[in-house]
């Protein structure tokens, strides 16, 4: 699971050197298994991630927001392709997670059906 999520993050410039990388990977895992986490991001998702990494909700949100900004600066074209629509500004943290989860699920379907993993 983590390897597939990493395949989404690396082309966007998000690497293990950033704390937000780990928070974002875990957020994608959580939302992919239970989409209801996206309904109450600040009351459910961020606290769950914060507990896992012994952090705070605000640090989690800030670091995921930073990874979204990094992705937007590094490869906005790919990020917009993943989103499936034009974007005029960087996505907020929850939008970024939703975009990644959507693309992650597409990759899983391709892997399961024997298709190619490449999405560029």
Structural domain of residue 32, as residue ranges?
2-113
Predicted pLDDT at 119:
44
Distance, in Å, from the CA atom of 91 to the CA atom of 55, rounded to the nearest integer, reads 23
Contact by Cβ (8 Å): 97, 31: yes
Beta strands in 1-120 (DSSP E): none
Neighbouring CB atoms inside 10 A of 77's CB total: 8
Please report which residue ranges of 1-92 form alpha helices under DSSP H. 2-9, 19-33, 46-52, 57-74, 76-83
Predicted pLDDT at 107:
85
- How many domains does the chain contain in total? 1
Has residue 20 been placed in a domain? yes
* pTM of the shown model: 0.88
Q: Which CATH number goes with the domain that contains 25?
A: 1.10.10.10
In degrees and rounded to multiples of 5, residue 109 shows phi and psi of: -65, -45
Residue-by-residue pLDDT tens, the chain, 120 positions: 688 899 999 999 999 999 999 999 999 999 999 999 999 999 999 999 999 999 999 999 999 999 999 999 999 999 999 999 999 999 999 999 999 999 999 888 766 655 554 443
Which tokens is 4 given? 């597939």
Has residue 118 been placed in a domain? no
């Amino acid at each position: 699971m983590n390897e597939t999520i990493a395949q989404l993050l690396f082309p966007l410039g998000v690497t293990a050197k950033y704390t937000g990388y780990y928070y974002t990977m875990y957020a994608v895992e959580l939302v992919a298994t239970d989409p209801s986490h996206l309904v109450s991001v600040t009351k459910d998702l961020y606290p769950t991630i914060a507990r896992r990494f012994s952090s705070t909700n605000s640090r989690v949100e800030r670091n995921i927001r930073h990874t979204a900004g990094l992705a937007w600066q590094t490869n906005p074209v790919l990020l917009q392709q993943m989103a499936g629509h034009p974007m005029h500004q960087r996505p907020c943290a929850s939008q970024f997670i939703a975009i990644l989860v959507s693309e992650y699920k597409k990759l899983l379907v391709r892997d399961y059906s024997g298709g190619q993993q490449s999405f560029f």
